[in-house]
Amino acid sequence: MHRKALLTILFLVLAFFIGGLTGLAAAYFVTGDGTKAIAETPGGSAQVKPATDLKENESGPSSPVEEPSSINTGKENDPASSVDHIVSHPDPGTGIVVETDPEPDEEGEKKVAYLTIDDGPDLENTPAILEVLRDYGIKATFFVIGTQVEKHPELLEKIFEDGHAIGNHTYNHVYKDIYASDQTFLESIRKNEEIISNIIGECPVIIREPGGRFKTKEKKQEMLREAGYLRADWNIDSYDSRHPIPDAKTILANVKRQAAKKKLWPAMVILFHESGGHQTTVEALPLVIDFLLEEGFELKSLPEMDSDILANLPKP
């Protein structure tokens, strides 16, 4: 009886010992390169990686691993990561793609407009035009006629005092007198120059011949250059001198239509008139100025323009 109990105890001890060895062997697995490794968790208990998973990992995961959507890569709000901000250009010599800033777009175009007002001063329209320009803080260029200056010298003084530029528009604006010969042409300019200088103490260098380049051939234009004058043409006509005289909205539409030509934007010289009967020009000026400012134009007077640009205005 005692021997039977002893054998039973020995059998149980042996079974326990053999079971322990089996568990220890199960804690080992073979990696893809044949080396042995042991997996342990923080508690010290072993976790065996199934052999099927190991085989899948040798050639990559069985399905794509997606980056968690909650991860912030730092590029969501980075302007430099935007396609609109960075443009890739291959280097012509090496073929290497280099990331550079984009080329300036059309919004970066220089836009400057010059308001020019001919045929004054006028007793009614000039004060009204000056008030409009004063309200906007804008300087314009007035091309005055000698006979009108003789009638209203105080208005020329006011134009000058307000800081506007003054240009020579000949003595009487009568084509048959001015363009009778080269000599009469120069005489008309010099007579007006003397009248102006006697009032404001300065001689205007900028001139605009009546009719502009359409009335003076190259010979007369060369004469002016040799005499030290700067011709000032225009490349946008408000057509406010047409008959019948257009209303303010039509004048605005005329300017808008021509101002759409981008090649004019760097030096856009607009022609207006202020002589008697041009009340609609006074009414149109605020509309035109608002339009130009809304479109991003800077408004200046002609003396602020480079003389080379003035001599070679972009043509419509």
| Measured CA distances, 292 to 170, 270, 297 (Å) | 30, 11, 5
Q: Kindly report the number of other CB atoms within 10 A of residue 289's CB atom.
A: 20
How many Å separate Cα 224 from the centre of its chain? 36
270 Rama class: left (phi>0) / alpha (psi -120 to 50) / beta: beta
- Of 140, 133, 124, give the one whose Cα is nearest residue 276: 124
**Rounded-to-integer distance, Cα 15 and Cα 83, Å:** 71
Cα Rg of the chain (Å, integer)? 44
Q: Is 162 a catalytic residue?
A: no
280/296 Cα distance (integer angstroms): 24
Tell me the two tokens of residue 164.
């506007």
Taking every pair of C-alpha atoms in the chain, what is the biggest distance, in angstroms?
Answer: 156
Cis peptide before 121 (omega within 30 of 0): yes
Please name which of 270, 268, 189, 202 lies closest in space to residue 229, comparing C-alpha atoms.
189
Query: Is residue 206 within 8 Å of residue 229, measured between CB atoms?
Result: yes
Grouping H, G, I as helix, E, B as strand and the rest as coil, residue 98 is strand
Which of 164, 169, 173, 273 is catalytic? The answer is 273
Of 272, 268, 273, 271, give the one whose Cα is nearest residue 298: 268
Is residue 78 flagged as an active site residue?
Answer: no
- Which of 118, 119, 233, 240 does the annotation list as catalytic? 118
Q: Tell me the catalytic residues.
A: 118, 273
